[in-house]
Structure 1
Amino acid sequence: MPPINTLLFDLDGTLLDTAPDLVAAVNQVLLHEDRPALPLAQLRPFVSGGASVLLRRAFGDDRESPLFQRRLQHMLDYYLANIAVHTRLFDGMSAILEYLESQNIPWGIVTNKPGWLTNPLLDALGLAERSSCTISGDTVAQKKPHPLPMLEACRRLDRPPEHCVYVGDDSRDIQAGRAAGMLTLAAVYGYVPEGDDPRCWGADGLLQAPDEILPWLAQRGAVT
Protein backbone atom coordinates (compact mmCIF):
# COMPACT_ATOMS: atom_id res chain seq x y z
CA MET A 1 0.00 0.00 0.00
CA PRO A 2 1.42 3.46 -0.91
CA PRO A 3 2.37 5.57 2.12
CA ILE A 4 -0.24 8.06 3.34
CA ASN A 5 1.21 11.54 3.74
CA THR A 6 -1.70 13.95 3.16
CA LEU A 7 -5.21 14.41 4.58
CA LEU A 8 -7.98 16.25 2.78
CA PHE A 9 -11.31 17.15 4.37
CA ASP A 10 -14.74 18.15 3.23
CA LEU A 11 -15.79 21.33 5.05
CA ASP A 12 -19.45 21.36 6.16
CA GLY A 13 -20.27 18.32 8.25
CA THR A 14 -16.72 16.94 8.27
CA LEU A 15 -14.20 19.53 9.41
CA LEU A 16 -16.66 22.15 10.67
CA ASP A 17 -20.05 21.99 12.33
CA THR A 18 -21.62 24.76 10.26
CA ALA A 19 -25.23 23.65 10.74
CA PRO A 20 -26.16 26.16 13.49
CA ASP A 21 -25.27 29.18 11.37
CA LEU A 22 -26.76 27.81 8.14
CA VAL A 23 -30.02 26.85 9.83
CA ALA A 24 -30.11 30.28 11.49
CA ALA A 25 -29.93 31.81 8.01
CA VAL A 26 -32.84 29.67 6.80
CA ASN A 27 -34.85 30.65 9.86
CA GLN A 28 -34.12 34.32 9.21
CA VAL A 29 -35.91 33.96 5.86
CA LEU A 30 -38.80 32.07 7.46
CA LEU A 31 -39.25 34.67 10.19
CA HIS A 32 -39.06 37.48 7.63
CA GLU A 33 -42.12 35.93 5.99
CA ASP A 34 -43.90 35.43 9.32
CA ARG A 35 -43.38 31.68 9.26
CA PRO A 36 -42.24 29.70 12.30
CA ALA A 37 -38.57 28.87 12.64
CA LEU A 38 -37.55 25.24 12.22
CA PRO A 39 -35.52 23.30 14.79
CA LEU A 40 -31.86 22.68 14.10
CA ALA A 41 -32.34 18.91 14.35
CA GLN A 42 -34.88 18.96 11.51
CA LEU A 43 -32.59 20.64 8.98
CA ARG A 44 -29.17 19.49 10.19
CA PRO A 45 -29.08 16.25 8.13
CA PHE A 46 -29.46 18.26 4.91
CA VAL A 47 -26.75 20.88 5.46
CA SER A 48 -24.20 19.06 3.28
CA GLY A 49 -26.58 19.50 0.36
CA GLY A 50 -26.03 23.25 0.47
CA ALA A 51 -28.21 26.33 0.76
CA SER A 52 -30.61 25.37 -2.04
CA VAL A 53 -31.40 22.01 -0.47
CA LEU A 54 -31.98 23.62 2.92
CA LEU A 55 -34.37 26.19 1.46
CA ARG A 56 -36.33 23.57 -0.44
CA ARG A 57 -36.69 21.62 2.80
CA ALA A 58 -37.99 24.74 4.52
CA PHE A 59 -40.27 26.10 1.78
CA GLY A 60 -40.75 23.36 -0.82
CA ASP A 61 -40.11 25.84 -3.65
CA ASP A 62 -39.00 25.07 -7.17
CA ARG A 63 -35.41 26.30 -7.22
CA GLU A 64 -35.97 27.89 -10.65
CA SER A 65 -38.78 30.15 -9.44
CA PRO A 66 -38.09 33.87 -8.91
CA LEU A 67 -39.41 33.61 -5.34
CA PHE A 68 -36.95 30.85 -4.55
CA GLN A 69 -34.08 32.89 -5.93
CA ARG A 70 -35.05 35.90 -3.79
CA ARG A 71 -35.25 33.72 -0.71
CA LEU A 72 -31.90 32.15 -1.54
CA GLN A 73 -30.25 35.56 -1.88
CA HIS A 74 -31.76 36.68 1.43
CA MET A 75 -30.47 33.54 3.13
CA LEU A 76 -26.97 33.84 1.68
CA ASP A 77 -26.71 37.54 2.52
CA TYR A 78 -27.61 36.82 6.13
CA TYR A 79 -25.30 33.80 6.28
CA LEU A 80 -22.31 35.72 4.94
CA ALA A 81 -22.86 38.45 7.53
CA ASN A 82 -23.14 35.86 10.33
CA ILE A 83 -20.92 33.12 8.97
CA ALA A 84 -19.04 32.12 12.12
CA VAL A 85 -21.32 32.99 15.03
CA HIS A 86 -21.78 29.40 16.17
CA THR A 87 -19.66 27.43 13.68
CA ARG A 88 -16.81 25.46 15.24
CA LEU A 89 -14.47 22.60 14.48
CA PHE A 90 -16.10 19.30 15.36
CA ASP A 91 -15.12 18.02 18.79
CA GLY A 92 -11.72 16.37 18.58
CA MET A 93 -10.81 17.91 15.23
CA SER A 94 -8.60 20.64 16.68
CA ALA A 95 -6.30 18.06 18.28
CA ILE A 96 -6.10 16.15 14.99
CA LEU A 97 -5.06 19.22 13.01
CA GLU A 98 -2.49 20.15 15.64
CA TYR A 99 -1.04 16.64 15.53
CA LEU A 100 -0.85 16.61 11.73
CA GLU A 101 0.91 19.96 11.77
CA SER A 102 3.35 18.79 14.44
CA GLN A 103 4.26 15.83 12.21
CA ASN A 104 4.54 18.00 9.08
CA ILE A 105 1.66 16.11 7.47
CA PRO A 106 -0.15 18.60 5.23
CA TRP A 107 -3.92 18.83 5.43
CA GLY A 108 -6.32 20.63 3.15
CA ILE A 109 -9.94 21.22 2.26
CA VAL A 110 -11.97 20.25 -0.79
CA THR A 111 -15.52 21.59 -0.59
CA ASN A 112 -18.41 22.39 -2.89
CA LYS A 113 -19.01 25.59 -0.90
CA PRO A 114 -18.18 28.59 -3.13
CA GLY A 115 -15.02 30.49 -2.41
CA TRP A 116 -16.84 33.71 -1.48
CA LEU A 117 -18.25 31.80 1.51
CA THR A 118 -15.38 29.37 2.16
CA ASN A 119 -12.67 32.01 2.43
CA PRO A 120 -14.32 34.35 4.96
CA LEU A 121 -15.38 31.36 7.04
CA LEU A 122 -11.84 29.99 7.23
CA ASP A 123 -10.49 33.47 7.92
CA ALA A 124 -12.94 33.96 10.79
CA LEU A 125 -11.89 30.68 12.40
CA GLY A 126 -8.15 31.15 11.86
CA LEU A 127 -7.91 28.17 9.51
CA ALA A 128 -7.11 29.85 6.20
CA GLU A 129 -3.37 30.02 6.81
CA ARG A 130 -3.24 26.57 8.38
CA SER A 131 -4.82 24.72 5.48
CA SER A 132 -2.11 23.72 3.01
CA CYS A 133 -4.61 23.78 0.17
CA THR A 134 -8.23 24.91 -0.13
CA ILE A 135 -10.32 23.97 -3.14
CA SER A 136 -13.78 25.54 -3.18
CA GLY A 137 -16.78 24.74 -5.32
CA ASP A 138 -15.82 27.37 -7.88
CA THR A 139 -12.04 26.84 -7.92
CA VAL A 140 -12.15 24.50 -10.92
CA ALA A 141 -14.71 23.76 -13.63
CA GLN A 142 -16.28 20.79 -11.82
CA LYS A 143 -17.58 20.06 -8.32
CA LYS A 144 -17.70 16.81 -6.38
CA PRO A 145 -18.64 14.06 -7.17
CA HIS A 146 -16.37 14.80 -10.13
CA PRO A 147 -12.74 13.99 -9.22
CA LEU A 148 -11.32 17.19 -10.72
CA PRO A 149 -11.33 19.18 -7.44
CA MET A 150 -9.52 16.32 -5.71
CA LEU A 151 -6.92 16.11 -8.45
CA GLU A 152 -6.41 19.87 -8.34
CA ALA A 153 -5.70 19.63 -4.61
CA CYS A 154 -3.11 16.93 -5.31
CA ARG A 155 -1.53 19.06 -8.01
CA ARG A 156 -1.22 22.06 -5.70
CA LEU A 157 0.19 19.94 -2.89
CA ASP A 158 2.48 18.00 -5.24
CA ARG A 159 1.13 14.73 -3.87
CA PRO A 160 0.01 11.66 -5.84
CA PRO A 161 -3.66 10.84 -5.13
CA GLU A 162 -2.77 7.38 -3.86
CA HIS A 163 -0.84 9.02 -1.00
CA CYS A 164 -3.91 11.00 0.13
CA VAL A 165 -6.92 10.27 2.31
CA TYR A 166 -10.14 12.18 1.80
CA VAL A 167 -12.67 12.49 4.63
CA GLY A 168 -16.27 13.44 3.86
CA ASP A 169 -19.82 13.06 5.13
CA ASP A 170 -21.66 12.61 1.82
CA SER A 171 -21.67 9.87 -0.78
CA ARG A 172 -20.42 12.36 -3.39
CA ASP A 173 -17.32 12.91 -1.26
CA ILE A 174 -16.47 9.23 -1.30
CA GLN A 175 -17.30 8.97 -5.00
CA ALA A 176 -14.99 11.88 -5.83
CA GLY A 177 -12.15 10.60 -3.68
CA ARG A 178 -12.35 7.09 -5.08
CA ALA A 179 -12.52 8.37 -8.66
CA ALA A 180 -9.37 10.39 -8.01
CA GLY A 181 -7.55 7.33 -6.68
CA MET A 182 -7.52 8.30 -2.99
CA LEU A 183 -8.35 6.35 0.12
CA THR A 184 -11.61 7.62 1.62
CA LEU A 185 -13.19 7.83 5.06
CA ALA A 186 -16.90 8.43 5.60
CA ALA A 187 -17.61 10.90 8.40
CA VAL A 188 -20.70 9.24 9.84
CA TYR A 189 -20.72 11.87 12.61
CA GLY A 190 -21.57 14.52 10.00
CA TYR A 191 -24.76 15.50 8.20
CA VAL A 192 -26.01 12.15 6.94
CA PRO A 193 -29.76 12.14 6.14
CA GLU A 194 -31.92 9.42 7.65
CA GLY A 195 -32.11 6.45 5.32
CA ASP A 196 -28.74 7.15 3.68
CA ASP A 197 -26.40 4.33 4.70
CA PRO A 198 -22.69 5.31 4.62
CA ARG A 199 -21.80 1.61 4.62
CA CYS A 200 -23.01 1.56 1.03
CA TRP A 201 -20.81 4.42 -0.17
CA GLY A 202 -17.71 2.29 -0.76
CA ALA A 203 -15.45 4.15 1.67
CA ASP A 204 -12.30 2.53 3.04
CA GLY A 205 -13.44 3.24 6.59
CA LEU A 206 -16.28 4.69 8.67
CA LEU A 207 -15.71 7.33 11.33
CA GLN A 208 -18.18 7.62 14.18
CA ALA A 209 -16.20 10.58 15.56
CA PRO A 210 -13.21 12.67 14.44
CA ASP A 211 -10.96 11.13 17.09
CA GLU A 212 -11.07 7.86 15.15
CA ILE A 213 -9.02 9.38 12.31
CA LEU A 214 -5.58 9.07 13.90
CA PRO A 215 -6.05 5.44 15.03
CA TRP A 216 -7.16 4.56 11.49
CA LEU A 217 -4.05 6.22 10.09
CA ALA A 218 -1.86 4.52 12.69
CA GLN A 219 -3.11 1.11 11.57
CA ARG A 220 -1.71 1.95 8.15
CA GLY A 221 1.59 3.25 9.47
CA ALA A 222 0.88 6.85 8.51
CA VAL A 223 1.23 8.16 12.07
CA THR A 224 2.73 6.89 15.30
Structure 2
Amino acid sequence: MDFPYSLVVFDLDGTLVDSASDISEAVNRTLVDWSLPRVDETVIRGWIGDGARALVGSAFEHAGKAIDLDEVMPGFMVHYADCLLLYPSVYPGVVDTLETLRARGIEVAVCTNKPERFVRPLLEALQLGDYFECIVGGDTLAQRKPSAVPLLHVVEKFGLQVSQCLMVGDSATDVETAAAANMQMALVTYGYLRGVDPHAVAGVRVIDDLRELLLAA
Protein backbone atom coordinates (compact mmCIF):
# COMPACT_ATOMS: atom_id res chain seq x y z
CA MET A 1 0.00 0.00 0.00
CA ASP A 2 1.36 3.43 -0.96
CA PHE A 3 1.80 5.94 1.84
CA PRO A 4 -1.15 8.31 1.34
CA TYR A 5 0.48 11.54 2.55
CA SER A 6 2.92 14.02 1.02
CA LEU A 7 3.97 15.54 4.36
CA VAL A 8 4.32 14.19 7.89
CA VAL A 9 4.48 16.76 10.68
CA PHE A 10 6.06 15.43 13.87
CA ASP A 11 5.87 16.63 17.42
CA LEU A 12 9.32 16.54 19.02
CA ASP A 13 9.48 15.74 22.74
CA GLY A 14 7.79 12.43 23.44
CA THR A 15 7.42 11.60 19.74
CA LEU A 16 10.87 11.73 18.15
CA VAL A 17 13.02 12.38 21.20
CA ASP A 18 12.87 11.36 24.85
CA SER A 19 14.06 14.51 26.58
CA ALA A 20 12.08 14.18 29.81
CA SER A 21 15.16 13.71 32.00
CA ASP A 22 16.72 16.93 30.73
CA ILE A 23 13.50 18.91 31.01
CA SER A 24 12.95 17.55 34.51
CA GLU A 25 16.42 18.56 35.61
CA ALA A 26 15.82 22.11 34.35
CA VAL A 27 12.55 22.26 36.29
CA ASN A 28 14.18 20.92 39.44
CA ARG A 29 17.10 23.33 39.28
CA THR A 30 14.57 26.14 39.02
CA LEU A 31 12.63 24.88 42.02
CA VAL A 32 15.84 24.67 44.03
CA ASP A 33 16.60 28.29 43.09
CA TRP A 34 13.36 29.21 44.84
CA SER A 35 14.10 26.99 47.88
CA LEU A 36 11.50 24.45 46.85
CA PRO A 37 11.88 20.65 46.85
CA ARG A 38 12.79 18.70 43.74
CA VAL A 39 10.07 16.67 42.05
CA ASP A 40 10.32 13.15 40.67
CA GLU A 41 10.75 12.90 36.92
CA THR A 42 7.67 10.69 36.60
CA VAL A 43 5.57 13.58 37.88
CA ILE A 44 7.20 16.18 35.64
CA ARG A 45 6.63 13.99 32.59
CA GLY A 46 2.93 14.62 33.12
CA TRP A 47 3.47 18.36 32.68
CA ILE A 48 5.40 18.29 29.39
CA GLY A 49 3.71 19.30 26.16
CA ASP A 50 2.09 22.71 26.59
CA GLY A 51 5.24 24.81 26.40
CA ALA A 52 7.87 26.05 28.83
CA ARG A 53 5.72 28.59 30.66
CA ALA A 54 2.91 26.13 31.32
CA LEU A 55 5.48 23.56 32.46
CA VAL A 56 7.00 25.93 35.01
CA GLY A 57 3.55 27.04 36.12
CA SER A 58 2.62 23.43 36.81
CA ALA A 59 5.78 22.93 38.86
CA PHE A 60 5.13 25.90 41.12
CA GLU A 61 1.46 25.03 41.44
CA HIS A 62 2.50 21.53 42.49
CA ALA A 63 4.83 23.07 45.08
CA GLY A 64 2.01 25.26 46.40
CA LYS A 65 4.02 28.38 45.71
CA ALA A 66 2.30 31.45 44.26
CA ILE A 67 4.82 33.17 42.02
CA ASP A 68 5.04 35.66 39.18
CA LEU A 69 6.14 33.52 36.25
CA ASP A 70 7.74 36.54 34.62
CA GLU A 71 10.24 36.46 37.49
CA VAL A 72 10.86 32.74 37.20
CA MET A 73 11.14 32.20 33.47
CA PRO A 74 14.52 33.88 32.80
CA GLY A 75 16.22 31.60 35.31
CA PHE A 76 14.37 28.57 34.03
CA MET A 77 15.45 29.26 30.46
CA VAL A 78 19.09 29.38 31.58
CA HIS A 79 18.68 25.95 33.18
CA TYR A 80 16.76 24.72 30.14
CA ALA A 81 19.67 25.62 27.89
CA ASP A 82 22.21 24.11 30.27
CA CYS A 83 20.25 20.83 30.49
CA LEU A 84 19.24 20.57 26.84
CA LEU A 85 21.83 17.96 25.87
CA LEU A 86 22.41 16.07 29.11
CA TYR A 87 20.65 12.78 28.38
CA PRO A 88 18.35 13.07 25.34
CA SER A 89 17.75 9.97 23.25
CA VAL A 90 16.03 9.12 19.99
CA TYR A 91 13.13 6.72 20.28
CA PRO A 92 13.45 3.32 18.58
CA GLY A 93 12.32 3.33 14.96
CA VAL A 94 12.62 7.07 14.45
CA VAL A 95 15.68 7.05 12.21
CA ASP A 96 14.40 4.09 10.17
CA THR A 97 11.10 5.87 9.64
CA LEU A 98 12.66 9.18 8.65
CA GLU A 99 15.03 7.42 6.26
CA THR A 100 12.17 5.56 4.61
CA LEU A 101 10.04 8.67 4.28
CA ARG A 102 12.94 10.55 2.70
CA ALA A 103 13.61 7.67 0.31
CA ARG A 104 9.98 7.82 -0.78
CA GLY A 105 10.12 11.56 -1.38
CA ILE A 106 7.77 12.38 1.50
CA GLU A 107 8.38 15.71 3.25
CA VAL A 108 8.81 15.89 7.02
CA ALA A 109 8.61 18.78 9.48
CA VAL A 110 8.64 19.44 13.21
CA CYS A 111 5.88 21.31 15.02
CA THR A 112 6.59 21.54 18.74
CA ASN A 113 5.88 23.74 21.74
CA LYS A 114 9.59 23.70 22.65
CA PRO A 115 11.08 27.18 22.15
CA GLU A 116 12.41 27.31 18.60
CA ARG A 117 15.98 28.24 19.52
CA PHE A 118 16.41 24.92 21.30
CA VAL A 119 14.96 22.67 18.61
CA ARG A 120 17.72 22.76 16.00
CA PRO A 121 20.60 22.21 18.49
CA LEU A 122 18.77 19.20 19.94
CA LEU A 123 18.09 17.69 16.53
CA GLU A 124 21.67 18.29 15.42
CA ALA A 125 23.10 16.70 18.56
CA LEU A 126 21.01 13.60 17.94
CA GLN A 127 21.92 13.52 14.23
CA LEU A 128 18.36 14.24 13.15
CA GLY A 129 18.93 17.74 11.86
CA ASP A 130 19.43 16.83 8.21
CA TYR A 131 15.91 15.44 7.94
CA PHE A 132 14.09 18.67 8.78
CA GLU A 133 14.17 21.92 6.86
CA CYS A 134 10.94 23.19 8.39
CA ILE A 135 10.73 23.66 12.16
CA VAL A 136 8.00 25.50 14.03
CA GLY A 137 8.57 26.00 17.75
CA GLY A 138 6.31 27.18 20.51
CA ASP A 139 7.44 30.78 20.06
CA THR A 140 7.86 30.85 16.28
CA LEU A 141 4.40 32.29 15.76
CA ALA A 142 1.99 34.29 17.89
CA GLN A 143 0.06 31.10 18.66
CA ARG A 144 1.25 27.63 19.63
CA LYS A 145 -0.34 24.20 19.86
CA PRO A 146 -3.18 23.34 20.48
CA SER A 147 -3.99 26.19 18.13
CA ALA A 148 -4.17 24.99 14.54
CA VAL A 149 -2.09 27.98 13.41
CA PRO A 150 1.39 26.40 13.71
CA LEU A 151 0.31 23.23 11.95
CA LEU A 152 -1.43 25.10 9.15
CA HIS A 153 1.66 27.31 8.81
CA VAL A 154 3.72 24.19 8.06
CA VAL A 155 1.18 22.98 5.51
CA GLU A 156 1.20 26.35 3.77
CA LYS A 157 5.00 26.44 3.72
CA PHE A 158 5.03 23.22 1.68
CA GLY A 159 2.22 24.42 -0.58
CA LEU A 160 0.00 21.47 0.27
CA GLN A 161 -3.58 20.84 1.35
CA VAL A 162 -4.39 19.58 4.85
CA SER A 163 -5.76 16.37 3.33
CA GLN A 164 -2.26 15.59 2.02
CA CYS A 165 -0.70 15.78 5.48
CA LEU A 166 -0.44 13.67 8.62
CA MET A 167 0.43 14.79 12.13
CA VAL A 168 2.26 12.46 14.53
CA GLY A 169 2.23 13.26 18.24
CA ASP A 170 2.01 11.87 21.74
CA SER A 171 -0.30 14.06 23.81
CA ALA A 172 -3.75 15.53 24.22
CA THR A 173 -2.28 18.81 22.99
CA ASP A 174 -1.32 17.15 19.71
CA VAL A 175 -4.75 15.52 19.40
CA GLU A 176 -6.42 18.90 19.87
CA THR A 177 -4.07 20.53 17.38
CA ALA A 178 -4.74 17.98 14.66
CA ALA A 179 -8.47 18.23 15.26
CA ALA A 180 -8.36 22.03 15.10
CA ALA A 181 -6.53 21.82 11.77
CA ASN A 182 -8.82 19.02 10.52
CA MET A 183 -5.73 16.91 9.89
CA GLN A 184 -5.39 13.15 10.16
CA MET A 185 -3.28 12.03 13.10
CA ALA A 186 -1.22 9.14 14.41
CA LEU A 187 -0.81 8.98 18.20
CA VAL A 188 2.22 7.18 19.65
CA THR A 189 1.81 5.25 22.88
CA TYR A 190 5.35 5.68 24.24
CA GLY A 191 5.50 9.44 24.82
CA TYR A 192 4.22 11.91 27.40
CA LEU A 193 0.56 10.97 27.29
CA ARG A 194 -0.37 12.88 30.45
CA GLY A 195 -3.07 10.41 31.42
CA VAL A 196 -4.53 10.03 27.95
CA ASP A 197 -5.55 6.52 26.90
CA PRO A 198 -4.58 6.47 23.20
CA HIS A 199 -7.04 3.71 22.44
CA ALA A 200 -9.89 5.81 23.81
CA VAL A 201 -9.21 8.72 21.45
CA ALA A 202 -11.59 8.65 18.52
CA GLY A 203 -10.42 9.21 14.97
CA VAL A 204 -6.67 8.72 15.42
CA ARG A 205 -4.36 5.92 14.45
CA VAL A 206 -2.50 4.46 17.44
CA ILE A 207 1.05 3.17 17.00
CA ASP A 208 3.48 1.63 19.49
CA ASP A 209 6.59 2.07 17.33
CA LEU A 210 7.12 4.81 14.76
CA ARG A 211 7.95 2.21 12.10
CA GLU A 212 4.32 1.14 12.20
CA LEU A 213 3.51 4.46 10.55
CA LEU A 214 4.67 3.02 7.24
CA LEU A 215 2.53 -0.10 7.43
CA ALA A 216 -0.97 -0.38 6.03
CA ALA A 217 -3.47 0.89 8.61
TM-score normalised per structure 1: 0.83
Letter in 1 for 2:168: V
Match of 2:39 in 1: 38
Residues of 2 paired with 1:104 and 1:62: CA distance? Answer: 50
The SS at the match of 2:12 is coil
Residues of 2 paired with 1:139 and 1:57: CA distance? Answer: 22
The SS at the match of 2:186 is strand
User: Can you give the 5+ residue segments of structure 2 that lack an aligned partner in the other structure?
Assistant: none
Q: Contact 1:132–1:157 at 8 Å: present in 2 too?
A: no
Q: Matches of residues 39-58 of structure 1 in structure 2 within 5 Å? A: 39-58=40-59
Match of 1:65 in 2: 67
Match of 2:81 in 1: 80
Q: Deviations over 1:4-56 (max 9, x none)?
A: 22211111111111101100111212334554432222221222233334334
Match of 1:208 in 2: 208
CA, structure 1 residues 63+130, in 2 after alignment: closer, same or farther (shift >3 Å)? Answer: farther
Match of 2:15 in 1: 14
Match of 1:172 in 2: 173
User: Can you give the 5+ residue segments of structure 1 that lack an aligned partner in the other structure?
Assistant: none
Q: Deviations over 1:44-89 (max 9, x none)?
A: 12222333343344332689833x4333322221111231221122
Residues of 1 paired with 2:22 and 2:41: CA distance? Answer: 10
TM-score normalised per structure 2: 0.85
Q: Matches of residues 1-224 of structure 1 in structure 2 within 5 Å? A: 3-60=4-61, 65-66=67-68, 68-194=69-195, 196-215=196-215, 219=216
CA, structure 1 residues 65+103, in 2 after alignment: closer, same or farther (shift >3 Å)? Answer: same
CA, structure 1 residues 63+210, in 2 after alignment: closer, same or farther (shift >3 Å)? Answer: farther
Q: Contact 2:172–2:194 at 8 Å: present in 1 too?
A: no
Q: Contact 2:9–2:168 at 8 Å: present in 1 too?
A: yes
- Displacement of 1:200 after TM fit? 4.2
Letter in 1 for 2:98: L
Residues of 2 paired with 1:203 and 1:69: CA distance? Answer: 38
Residues of 2 paired with 1:87 and 1:45: CA distance? Answer: 17
CA, structure 1 residues 122+75, in 2 after alignment: closer, same or farther (shift >3 Å)? Answer: same
Percent identity for Structure 1 against Structure 2: 29
Q: Contact 1:21–1:83 at 8 Å: present in 2 too?
A: yes
Letter in 2 for 1:213: L
Residues of 2 paired with 1:147 and 1:62: CA distance? Answer: 32
Q: Which moved more, 1:179-188 or 1:29-38?
A: 29-38
CA, structure 1 residues 31+138, in 2 after alignment: closer, same or farther (shift >3 Å)? Answer: closer
Residues of 1 paired with 2:127 and 2:65: CA distance? Answer: 34
**RMSD in angstroms over aligned alpha carbons?**
2.6
Number of aligned positions between the proteins: 215
CA, structure 1 residues 144+33, in 2 after alignment: closer, same or farther (shift >3 Å)? Answer: closer
CA, structure 1 residues 64+101, in 2 after alignment: closer, same or farther (shift >3 Å)? Answer: farther
Letter in 2 for 1:76: M
